[in-house]
Amino acid sequence: MSDVTMTNQTQAQKLDSVAARKARIMGGILIALALLVIFVLHVVPGESATFRLTTRRDAIQIPDLVVPGAFNYVAAALLAFLGVRQFLQGGARWTSLSLGVGLAILVMAFLVWATAGKAFNLTSMLQAAVLASVPIALGGLAGVMSERVAVVNIAIEGMLLAGAFAGALIGSLLGGWIGLVAAILVGGSFGLLLAVLVVTFRMDQIIAGVVINLFVLGVTSYVSSQVFSEYRFLNNAKVFRQWEIPFLSDIPVLGPMLFDQNLFVYGAFILVGIATYYLFYTKNGLRARAVGEHPRAADTLGVDVYVTRYVHVTIAGMVAGFGGAFFTLGNVGRFEENMTNGRGYIGLAAMIFGRWHPVGALSAALIFGFADSIQRKLALLNTPIPSEFLAMAPYIATIIVVAGLVGRSRPPAADGKPYVKE
């Protein structure tokens, strides 16, 4: 053996690490938010915002929350502190947490600014937020179910719309419960259709989804202009009322939010629980996830990849159909053209935000629902912001989520890829 050189080193080097760069960007964003709060969300000193937490009818009364305008100075200072800390520390921990906290502070400052000198019922807004999050959560859950077996489901929007339509039509004819079942079945059949197209016929998953959306939009619009406009009784279903849960619904703030809602809200929470148990604690859940991560491995172990995908995408369709029924049976009782208006896509964003986990998707959906209900309630408060811009809020939030969180979250490895048996 001849000249052997050993290279030995562990000297500390200053490396330009990814985390440090990210922290600097986050720091910059937080400082920008601080400036935004100072200059744009400026509240005249002396004015204060009143948030009502209970209504007169409630069993337990708690006093209104009165926030002085000076709160926004504190908020700006906090944001600036977080930002500077991220900026200087470089590669610091808690980068994402800081951003989350920062955004929460921003929302609070915004609410104080918008409500300054007025009063605003916070509890009813939160109640509406939970309600608004239901279709998004169920859409997100449908996304989780199908993407966990590696089928990208852009068709959630169409499945929601189909569920809404079937719920209204059958609900008008045969009553709410049967309408609900019909919505679930119709959603499921579109799930099945998606499975047929992408699993058996190996159609591009995104195209298949887009096509189902176009198809459902076409059919429902066609029927509603061809038929519903003439026979109005076909589009007039009874709505599921709120079910107050005794005692629990009397808890201030939380009670109205969680325990004085309709079937769909409870259904969404229960389904999320079931899905979590199923995916992570059962035999079939393990197999489903294996199919999503490494279908060939699952196949060699005798797990039928095709059947697994069929079953789960169909279940996803049923979940989305249930979520779609919310629009008609859980809300207005009538079907209108394109009434889902992009909620399915937002559900998909919620799924990404929630890292392909049912509970994560639900949490993300609650945030979107919150953005949605803020925009509705603020329209009543006469803020200087035009209503169109408020209406954009959930969409912009979606873009931010999708843009800001990729890289940190990891989709199932085989997501979007057709599986061809050898």
148 binds another protein (CB under 8 A): no
CA distances from 224 to 4, 152, 232, 271 (A): 82, 29, 10, 30
Nearer CB in complex with another protein: 68/91: 91
Structure tokens at 246: 């005794």
Find residue 379's DSSP bridge partners.
Answer: none
The interface region with another protein, picked from 31-39, 49-57, 159-167, 295-303 by CB under 8 A, is: 295-303
Structure tokens at 347: 């559900």
Q: Is 232 exposed, middle or buried (0-12, 13-18, 19+ CB in 10 A)?
A: exposed
Nearer CB in complex with another protein: 290/319: 290
By the 8 A CB rule, do 316 and 146 touch?
yes
266 binds another protein (CB under 8 A): no
Q: Is 405 exposed, middle or buried (0-12, 13-18, 19+ CB in 10 A)?
A: middle
119 binds another protein (CB under 8 A): no
Nearer CB in complex with another protein: 174/406: 406
Closest CA to 308 of 288, 289, 326: 288
384 binds another protein (CB under 8 A): no
Find residue 242's DSSP bridge partners.
Answer: 262
233 binds another protein (CB under 8 A): no
Nearer CB in complex with another protein: 222/243: 222
Judged by CB under 8 A, the residue of 54, 79, 188, 287 near another protein is 287
**Minimal distance, residue 200 CB to another protein, in Å:** 8
Nearer CB in complex with another protein: 122/349: 349
> Residue 217 and residue 212: Cα distance in Å, rounded?
8
361 binds another protein (CB under 8 A): no
Q: Is 376 exposed, middle or buried (0-12, 13-18, 19+ CB in 10 A)?
A: middle
Judged by CB under 8 A, the residue of 50, 89, 121, 221 near another protein is 221
**Minimal distance, residue 78 CB to another protein, in Å:** 26
73 binds another protein (CB under 8 A): no
137 binds another protein (CB under 8 A): no
Nearer CB in complex with another protein: 49/374: 374
Element housing 49 (H / E): strand 48-52
Site size toward another protein (CB under 8 A) is 84
6 binds another protein (CB under 8 A): yes
Residue 410, number of CB atoms within 10 A of its CB: 10
Judged by CB under 8 A, the residue of 318, 348, 362, 364 near another protein is 348
Site for another protein in 299-328 (CB under 8 A): 299-303
422 binds another protein (CB under 8 A): yes
**Minimal distance, residue 184 CB to another protein, in Å:** 21
**Minimal distance, residue 262 CB to another protein, in Å:** 26
270 binds another protein (CB under 8 A): no
> Residue 288 and residue 285: Cα distance in Å, rounded?
5
> Residue 214 and residue 209: Cα distance in Å, rounded?
9
> Residue 414 and residue 402: Cα distance in Å, rounded?
20
